[in-house]
Chain A
C-alpha cells in the first residue's frame, strides 16, 4: 500500500485533468477575449499577501475564511482570498498616477476555507473585472453588460442576475441603535419576517422604518418592485438608490432585462460594497455563480480615494455547465 499521506490530497483541494482543464481554459479564453476587446488589461496579483489586505475591507466573514501562515519575518500572510482587495491595493498604490478610468481584469484561484466537515472547496478559480475611477451609472452598466455578455459567449443563456442597492438598506440600519441594527441585519439576511415585525413593533422604531423593515424580504421581482421600493424609501439616499437602478433598467436591452431581478432585501456579501450589488444564479447550481457591485470606499483604505465597480464569476461552476463538451 502506498504511503497514505502521499496518495491523498487535503480536503477541499482537487486535481484537475483532461476535460476539466479544457473547460476551464475555454471559460478563461472566452473571458480574456471579451475583456481585452473592451479595453480591460489583465493583472496578476501575488498568490499571498499580508492578511490586512483582505481583512481591511472585506469584513469578518472573509477574515474567518482566510488560509494564513506566518512569514519569515513573523508577519501574518494569507493566501489570496479575493481578487478585488488585491487589485484595489495595486490601484491605490502602484497605479496611483495612472490615467483614469482604469479597466483591469483577472482570472485565477482564490483560497477560502469554510467550516471543517463541509463540502466547500478551499481553492476555486474565479475570473472578473474592475472599473476604477468612474462613479457613474454608466460604469455600473458597463460591468453588468460585460458580465452578461461573458455568460452569453459561453452559450450559458439561462441565468438570472439579482440586482440590489446597499444605499437603499443602509439608511434603515443606520436609523436603529447598533444592537437592534445587528438583529435586523440578521433577520433581513434570513428573510425572517416575524422577527422583523417584532423589531418594528418596538416603541423606539418609527412607523416608516417598521414598515420598510417588514417589506424588505418581499422587495424582489421585476421592474415594478422599484416602484414599491421607492414608495417605502425613507430618505434621499434610498430614493437616489432606486432612481439609479431605474436609470440602469432603462439602459438595458430587452434581452439583458430578461435576466434581471431586482432584489432590494439582499444584504449578503463582502462588507466593502457601497452601491449596486449583482448576484448571478443558474438553475441546478445550489449557490450563486458570480457576484459583484460598487465599492467606492475600498480604495481609500489602501490610501487613495477612488470610486470603483467590479464583479467576479465562479470559473469552476461555469466550466461544469459546459459538460456537453467531451470528458
Chain B
C-alpha cells in the first residue's frame, strides 16, 4: 500500500487554491518542491502526495484508483459523469457554465427554421442541456478558444465556462442561458474510500471544517 494518500489536482488557477487549503491542514507541499517540475509532489508532513494533472484528466486518475482522491470543477464532473464519490463542495473556483450568443443573435430559436450550431468543449453537457430544453441543435466539439467560433461564423452559439464574463464581452457575446453553477469538488475513489476509510474520513472532516470557515478568515490567513 502507498503510505501517502495521493491527491490529483487540476493544473492552472485552481491548483494554488487547492494547495492553500491543504497547507492549512499542515500538509502543504514539502519545502523545496513548491516550484519543482516533478510529476508527484510530497506534502511536508508525509500524509499526502499531490499529482498535478490537466483538469479534464482528474476524474480518470481518481476513477481508476491511480489517485485516491482529487479536486476538480463540478463542470468537469457534470460533463464526464465519472463513477466516484463526491463528498464535498470546496467552495472555491466558483463559475458558471452558460450558453452565450453574439449580441443580436436570437435564442432559443433562430430566425427561420435553421438548426442552431453550438460550439463547445462540453459536448455531453450540451446534448443533455438542449435536450432538456426541448431544443434540437448541432453540437460542434472545439478544444480551445470557443468564444471566437461565432465571430468566425463557425457556430451560432457557444456553451462554455465563464468566471468574470470579460472574455465573452471582448468577443461581443452575451449570456443567454445558464446551464449549471460550478465550484471545486473533492472526489474520492470508491475502493480507496473503503480500504483507507479512516484516512479519508479524517481528510473529509478536516476539509469540511476549513470550507465552513467564513471566506474573509481564509483570505486574511493568506497574508
Name A residues whose Cβ lies closer than 8 Å to a Cβ of B. Answer: 115, 119, 160, 162, 190-194, 217-218, 220-221, 261, 263, 279, 281, 283-288
Contact = CB atoms under 8 A, between A and B. Distances in A.
Given A220-B197, A221-B197, A286 B191 contact: yes
Residue of B66, B85, B86 most packed against chain A (CB within 10 A): B86
Given A190-B87, A286-B189, A287-B191, 15 more contacts: A119-B64, A160-B194, A190-B85, A191-B87, A192-B87, A192-B88, A194-B89, A217-B87, A220-B197, A279-B194, A281-B195, A283-B1, A285-B65, A286-B66, A286-B191
A286 B63 contact: yes
B171 interface: no
A282 B199 CA distance: 17
A285 B197 contact: no
B190 interface: yes
B193 interface: yes
Contacts of A218: 201
Contacts of B190: 287-288
8 contacts: A115-B81, A162-B194, A191-B86, A221-B197, A279-B194, A281-B191, A286-B65, A286-B189
B193 A191 contact: yes
Contact of A193 (B87, B189, B193): B87
Contact of B194 (A115, A119, A261): A261
Nearest to A266: B194
Interface string B174-198: 0000000000000011111111010
B86 A286 contact: no
Contacts of B64: 119, 286
Given A191-B87, A192-B87, A281 B194 contact: yes
Given A119-B64, A283-B1, A288 B197 contact: no
A191 B192 CA distance: 14
B38 to A, nearest CB: 23
A187 to B, nearest CB: 9
Q: Which 6 A-B pairs have the closest CB atoms?
A: A286-B65, A190-B86, A191-B87, A191-B85, A286-B64, A281-B194
A99 B190 CA distance: 40
